[in-house]
Amino acid sequence: MLLMVGLGNPGAKYAGNRHNIGFMAVDRIAVDHGFSPWKSRFQGLVAEGRLGEQRVTALKPQSFMNLSGQSVGEAMRYLKLTPAEVLVLHDELDLAPGTCRLKTGGGHAGHNGLRSIHQHIGEDYRRLRVGIGHPGHKDKVSGYVLSDFAKAEEAMLDDLLRGISDGAEALARGDGAAFGTALAARVALAPQKPSRSVEKPAEAGTKPDLQPLGMADRLRALGNRFH
């Protein structure tokens, strides 16, 4: 059993925000892989299904980002899972838009959703860090993450979400290489600016991040509809 958690804020006001890319990713996975309809449970919305041989409970906490851990902790305890059986999909400022990295354990880097999850289940869970880029100055971060993706990013975002969904079976079984291959088939490499800061070496006892998996060409087929 795997608890797959997408992070975001509930309500139509936040639906297209960069901070909600975790919600967007689990929504795409649930649709593409035939999960059950969403229902209220564990202070969130839950859908159930399978990814390959793995039974999966998808969870979107509805307690707002900074209280996400309440929902995750309740679901994990009810399902009798360990933190190692929890996978969290979330936005990452220090990765360029269209890139992903897998990580197990480590700090929360100031992310309010991860900070809350740390408080309720510890840090030894898996994460898919989905890049949204950085606005360039820390004073702009709050407004940036709570703003919608730009029109010019729609094709990139659509490719990214489809790529994450294509690789979801590999992601569920912990096969990072196969996940990266599936993502790369959807997301084309394109020149990109360096991230805002160089990431620190992995903390003792944690697994290092995988290599960035690529960025969509933002100029490609902007006529594609964003779902």
Task: Provide the mean pLDDT of the chain.
Answer: 85
Closest CA to 7 of 19, 57, 16: 19
pLDDT score for 27:
98
**C-alpha closest to that of 202 among 121, 114, 102:** 102
Q: Answer yes or no: are the C-beta atoms of 158 and 38 closer than 8 Å.
A: no
Instruction: Check pLDDT > 50 for residue 196.
Output: no
Kindly state whether residue 191 falls inside one of the protein's structural domains. no
Q: Which residues are catalytic?
A: 19
Count of domains observed in the chain: 1
Say if 108 falls within a structural domain. Answer: yes
For residues 16-34, average pLDDT: 97
| Residue among 212, 152, 208, 223 at smallest CA distance from 187 | 212
Within its chain, how far is the Cα of 45 from the centroid?
Answer: 16
pLDDT at 202: 41
Looking at the domain assignment, is residue 115 inside a domain? yes
Cα–Cα dist 171/219, whole Å = 28
Q: Is residue 202 situated within a structural domain? A: no
This prediction's pTM? 0.81
Structure tokens at 87: 């996978």
For β-strands 39-41 and 54-61, DSSP reports them as unpaired
What is the number of other CB atoms lying within 10 angstroms of the CB of residue 115? 16
Residue 32, domain extent:
2-186
Specify if 218 maps to a domain: no
pLDDT tens per residue, range 100-137: 999 988 888 789 899 999 999 999 999 999 999 898 88
Judge whether 81 lies within some domain: yes
Asked if residue 210 has pLDDT above 70, the reply is no
Judge whether residue 150 has pLDDT over 50.
Answer: yes
Alpha carbon distance 220, 160 (integer Å): 13
Report strand pairing: 86-92 vs 2-6. Answer: parallel
The 10s digit of each residue's pLDDT in 152-171 is 999 999 999 999 999 999 99
DSSP class per residue in 157-189: HHHHHHHHHHTHHHHHHT-HHHHHHHHHHHS--
In a domain, 63, yes or no: yes
| Res 106: pLDDT | 83
Domain holding 74: CATH number? 3.40.50.1470
In a domain, 121, yes or no: yes
